[in-house]
Structure 1
C-alpha cells in the first residue's frame, strides 16, 4: 500500500458568535480538510485548523505547503513508514498544523487497513472521555449564562475560562462569578493565551487562590524566560504550557527550566505520532497533561477524543472537545454527541470519519 495522492481542501464555517481570547478572535472556522489517498482505495482524513496568531499558519499557507512541498515528498511512501514520513516533513521547519493533519490522516489509513479503531492502535485505555468546554471573553454575566447552558444541555462540569485581559480584575471578577454560579462541584481552570505579564499573572492568580482553580495555562509569553520561571515557582496553582510547548524539545526546555508544571497536548499541532512522544516524555518526568483543543471542528475533536481515550494519563482530566458546539454547522455525516459530560470514541476502523459531501461542496473555498 502506497500513498497515491494528497488533497488539501479549504473550507469555512461561521461560528455562532466570535470566539474571543487574549491572542485573537475567531469569527469563522477557516480550516483545511486533508485527504490522503492510497493506491488500494483507502482514504485517510483529517482537519487542519490554522491559527495565524499562534503558529503563523493560515488557510492559504497550509494548502500551499501541503500541495507544493509535502505531497511531492510523501507520494509513493507506505503509510506504515511513519519515521521516514516525518523525516521528510521535518526537513521543512514550522508548519505544525499542516504536518499534524498529514500524520492524523496517515493513522486513519493504518487503522482502516487493520480494521481497528485508531484509539485501540494507540493504547485502547477507555471508550469515552470527559469533556471540558471553553468559555471565551465576554461580560461576566454572559460567561456565566454560557457555562450554565452548556452544563444543563450537555452535562459538562469542567470549564476552561479564557483570561488575559487588562486590567486583570475583570478576569478575576468573571472567574468569581463562574465559581459562585456553578458551585464547588464544577472544575475551573484558566487560559491566558500569553496575554498577561508574569507580574500580572501572579497578581491575578493570587487574587483567585480561594477559587480552587485546577491550573493556569500559558498566562504569559514563552519569551518571558525569567518571568515564567519566577511565576511557576510562586503560583498558587500549577502552570501548564501550551503555545510554548509545541514540540517535544520545547516541552523538555520548559519543564527542565521550571517554567511549566504541566503540558497541554493538542493533536491538531502534534498529530498522533508526536503527541505520543510528548505524553511519554511527560510520563517519564512525572508531569501531568491535559488534552487541549485548537478551536477544532467535529473532525478535529474526534481526533482529540481518540487520543485522550487511548491512554490512562490523558483520560484523567476532562479533554477540550466541545468547541464544535459553537459552530453553525460541520462536515461530519454523523455528528458527535456529548451526553452526561462525556464523548464516546467511535468503534469504526480508523477514525470513523465520514464526510457529508454536500456540506463540503457548500462550504469549500476553492
Structure 2
C-alpha cells in the first residue's frame, strides 16, 4: 500500500446559476481532481476546490504545490502512515485544500485496499445525512422560489441563507420572506461571510429575533476581536465559527476567547484527518457542529457526507451538501441523488466514487 504517484488534474465546469455571497461569487467550478496511486494498483480520489477570496489558493497554485512539493514528499509512504504524511504536508504553510484533497484521496485508497468504506473506517455511525441547501444573494422572491423548488423536488427543509449586504434590511427582508413562505417546518440559519460589522450584525439579528433561526455564522470579521466577543454575548442562538476556526488551535482560541459557540467543519479544507481532530475537540467542548460546504462538486460532497455520517455529532444537524446541484455537470460516473432531504453514503469500498473518463477528458483544462 505504498504511494507511487500523486496527480493533480485541473478541470472546469460552469455553474448553471452563479453563486453570490459577501466574500465573492463563483461562475465556474475551476477545481482540481487529485488522485493517489499505490504500488498495488489502487487509486484514491478527491476534489480540491480553490477559494482565492477566502484561503488564497488558486487552481494553478494547487497544481504547482502538489506537483513540486507535496508529491515528492509522499511517494514511498504507506497509506497508513497518515501522521507522517500530515507532518510533511504541514512543513508548507497554507494550501489547505491541496493538503486536504491529498489526505482524503489517501483515505479513499486505504478503504479500497481494505475493502471497507471510509465512513466505516472513520466511525461508522450512520449511512446518511439530512441536507441543508445554501441560498446565495438574490431578490427575496427569487430566493423563496429556489427554496420552495429544493423543498418540493429534493425534500430539503433546512436552508442556510447568505447575508452580509448593505443595507442590512436587504437581507433581513429575505429571511423574513423565507420564514413567511416556508412556514415553521423549515429550519433557517444565516451566514454573513464576515460582511457586516459587529454593530450591523447585532441590529440584523435583533430584527430577525422572531424568525426562530438555528444559527448565525461568521457575521462580522474575525479580527474585530472585541466587537466579535461583544456580538456573541448579545445572541440567543449559537454563533458558528467557519473561516476563523479551521485548525484545532483556531477552535480553541475562538471558543475559549468567547468569539464563537459552534463550529463548521469542511472536509475540503481540513481533509478527513484534520476534520477528525476538530470533531473530537468539539465533542469534548460540547459544541454544536455543522458540516459545511466549500462550494464542492459531487466528489467533494461525497467526501463531506462520508465524514459527517461517521459520527453522531456531525450527523446530528443537516449538512451543507447540495451546492453541486448548481453545476451544469460533474465528473462522477454515477451522479449523486438527494432524496427525501437526505444524501446517503455510497456503498462499496473507500468513497465509492468512480470518475467518468469521458467527462474528465471533456472538462479537464490542461489539454
Structure 1 CA distance for aligned equivalents of residues 236 and 124 of structure 2: 35
Is 1:224 aligned to residue 224 of structure 2?
Answer: yes
In the TM superposition, what are the counterparts of 1:52-71 in structure 2 within 5 Å? 52-71=52-71
Aligned to 2:25: 25
In the TM superposition, what are the counterparts of 1:88-237 in structure 2 within 5 Å? 88-237=88-237
Structure 2 CA distance for aligned equivalents of residues 61 and 222 of structure 1: 25
TM superposition shift of 1:114? 0.9
Aligned to 2:268: 268
- 1:86-131 CA-to-partner distances (Å, cap 9, x unmatched) read 0000000111000000000000011011110000110111111100
TM superposition shift of 1:146? 0.3
TM superposition shift of 1:346? 1.1
TM superposition shift of 1:236? 2.8
- 1:161-210 CA-to-partner distances (Å, cap 9, x unmatched) read 00000011000000000000000000000000010111110000111010
Aligned to 1:342: 342
Is the 8 Å Cα contact of residues 37 and 43 (structure 1) preserved in structure 2?
Answer: yes
State the 4+ residue runs in structure 1 displaced beyond 2 angstroms.
none
In the TM superposition, what are the counterparts of 1:255-334 in structure 2 within 5 Å? 255-334=255-334
Which consecutive unaligned segments of at least 5 residues does structure 1 have?
A: none
TM superposition shift of 1:219? 0.6
- 1:119-148 CA-to-partner distances (Å, cap 9, x unmatched) read 011011111110000000000000000000
Structure 2 CA distance for aligned equivalents of residues 47 and 308 of structure 1: 17
- 1:263-294 CA-to-partner distances (Å, cap 9, x unmatched) read 00000000000101001101111111000000
Structure 2 CA distance for aligned equivalents of residues 277 and 242 of structure 1: 15
Structure 1 CA distance for aligned equivalents of residues 218 and 30 of structure 2: 24
Structure 2 CA distance for aligned equivalents of residues 67 and 220 of structure 1: 36
TM superposition shift of 1:229? 0.7
Is the 8 Å Cα contact of residues 206 and 236 (structure 1) preserved in structure 2?
Answer: no
- 1:17-43 CA-to-partner distances (Å, cap 9, x unmatched) read 110000000000000000010111000
- TM-score (ref. length: structure 2): 0.99
Instruction: Name the SS for the 1:283 alignment partner.
Output: helix
Q: How many residues align?
A: 366
The Cα RMSD (Å) is: 0.6
Structure 2 CA distance for aligned equivalents of residues 34 and 276 of structure 1: 20
Instruction: Name the SS for the 1:33 alignment partner.
Output: strand
Aligned to 2:353: 353
Structure 1 CA distance for aligned equivalents of residues 163 and 114 of structure 2: 44
Aligned to 2:243: 243
Instruction: Name the SS for the 2:210 alignment partner.
Output: helix
Instruction: Name the SS for the 2:80 alignment partner.
Output: coil
Instruction: Name the SS for the 1:121 alignment partner.
Output: helix
Structure 1 CA distance for aligned equivalents of residues 221 and 98 of structure 2: 23
